Amino acid sequence: MLNDVEAYIALRRAAGFEMKNVEWLLKNFARFEAMREQTHVNAQTAIDWAALGPSAAQRDARLKAVCRFARYIRIEDNRHEAPPANHFGARKKRRPPHIYSPDEISLLIIGALQLRPRNGLRSQTYATLIALLATTGLRISEALNLKVADIRKDGLLVRETKFKKTRLVPLHDTAAAGLERYLKQRRPISMDDPVFICDRGQPLQYSAVRDTFDRLVNKAGVRLTPGMHRPRLHDLRHTFAVRALQTCPVGRSRTGKHMVALATYMGHVNIYATYWYLEATADLMRDVAAVGEMFLSDGAQS
C-alpha cells in the first residue's frame, strides 16, 4: 500500500498541494496496516489507527486523511473500504480574530518607528511592513517573500503562495509611495533582493517578526476583548477583510460581486473562506442583521 500512498501524494502535489503532514500520516497508516498484514484500506483499522491521536481534533484529522486517500484508491480497486469520515465527530473551530481599530494600527506603526536603532533600517522595515499588511490584507508569508522585482507600477505581484496561486494586488497611491520611500532608504542591490530585510541584510524571519510584533502590541496598549485571544499579526489580514466588507455596496447583486472581488484580491481558493469574515465579527453580524431587518420591513410595507 505504500506505493499507492506515494502515487497519491505525487498526484496531489502536482495539483498544487504541499501534503507534508498528510504524507507522514498516510505512510504511518500504511505501516500500521502492514503490521496487521492488511493490503487494502480497512475501515476498522483506519479507526483504530486514527484513535491513537492525542486529541479529538487530531484523531479526526488522521481519519479524514485516510478517507480522502480511500476515495482515490477505490476508483481502481473497490476492495478498499471507505471509513466513516465523521466517526469522531470533531468540528474544526476557527479562532475569532481581533479587529484592530485605526488608532491601534497607527500606534503599532508609531511603536515600530521607535524601534532601536532610532531612524535605522529596522524601524523603517517594521513600520512599512505593518502598514503594508494593514492596507493590503497580505498574508505575512506573502509579504516576507516579496522581491523588489515584484513591486510593479500596477501593484504587487504575489507569486505562488498558498494553493500555488499567483495574483496581482493593486496598491493605493499612499501605500505605493510608502514602499517607494522605504526602498530608497533600503537601497536594494538587485531586483532579486527581498523587500524586507533585517539589519544584517538577510531576509526577515517570521519568528522574529512575530516576536517583535507581540512586543509592539503590548507597547501600543491594544486591549483584549473579554473572552478573546491575544491579538495576532495575522489579525491585520482579518481586519482588512472586515473593513472591506463594511464598505460593501448595498444590493444583493452588488454585494455578491464585491465578495467575489475580495476573494480574488485576498487569494482565497474559494468564496467560502471570504464568507467566514461575515460571521467572524460582531460588528459585521450587526450590520447584516440591520440590512436584513430593513429588507423585511420594506417587503412588509409593500
pLDDT digits (tens, 9 = 90+) for 242-279: 888 777 766 555 656 677 778 778 887 666 666 666 65
The domains located in the chain, with CATH, are: 2-73 (no CATH), 102-220 (1.10.443.10), 235-301 (no CATH)
* CA distances from residue 118 to 112, 179, 214, 221 in whole angstroms, order as listed: 10, 19, 19, 21
Determine the distance from the C-alpha atom of residue 55 to the mean position of all C-alpha atoms in its chain, rounded to a whole number.
23
User: Any catalytic annotation for residue 268?
Assistant: yes
Q: What is the distance between the alpha carbons of residues 77 and 68, in angstroms, rounded to a whole number?
A: 15
Q: Which of 62, 64, 98, 139 is catalytic?
A: 139
Catalytic residue among 87, 159, 219, 234: 234
* Strand residue runs (E) in 93-169: 151-152, 155-158, 167-169
Q: So what's the pLDDT on residue 223? A: 78
Based on the residue annotation, tell me whether 234 is a catalytic residue of this protein.
yes
Q: Does the predicted TM-score (pTM) go above 0.75?
A: no
pLDDT tens-digit profile of 77-107? 999 999 998 898 777 677 778 889 999 999 9
Q: Write down the pLDDT at residue 24.
A: 95
- Locate cell 475569532: which residue? 96
Catalytic residue (one of 62, 237, 238, 243): 237
Per-residue confidence band for 227, with pLDDT thresholds at 50, 70 and 90 = low
Question: Is 162 designated active site?
Answer: yes
Active site residue 237: yes
Range from 7-11, 43-47, 100-104, 298-302 carrying the lowest mean pLDDT: 298-302
Is residue 172 annotated as a catalytic residue, yes or no? no
Query: pLDDT, tens digit, for every residue of 184-209?
Result: 999 988 999 999 999 888 999 999 99
Identify the band that residue 302 occupies on the pLDDT scale cut at 50, 70 and 90.
very low
Determine the pLDDT at residue 294: 60
| Given 8, 126, 182, 277, the catalytic residue | 277
> Which region among 4-13, 269-278, 285-294 has the lowest average model confidence (pLDDT)?
285-294
C-alpha to C-alpha distance for 164 and 210, rounded to whole angstroms:
24
Q: Across all residues in the chain, what is the average pLDDT?
A: 86
- CA terminus-to-terminus distance, the chain: 65
**Which strand ranges, in their side-by-side order, compose the sheet holding 167-169?**
151-152, 155-158, 167-169
**Start-end of H helices in 159-270:** 173-186, 206-220, 235-246, 252-266
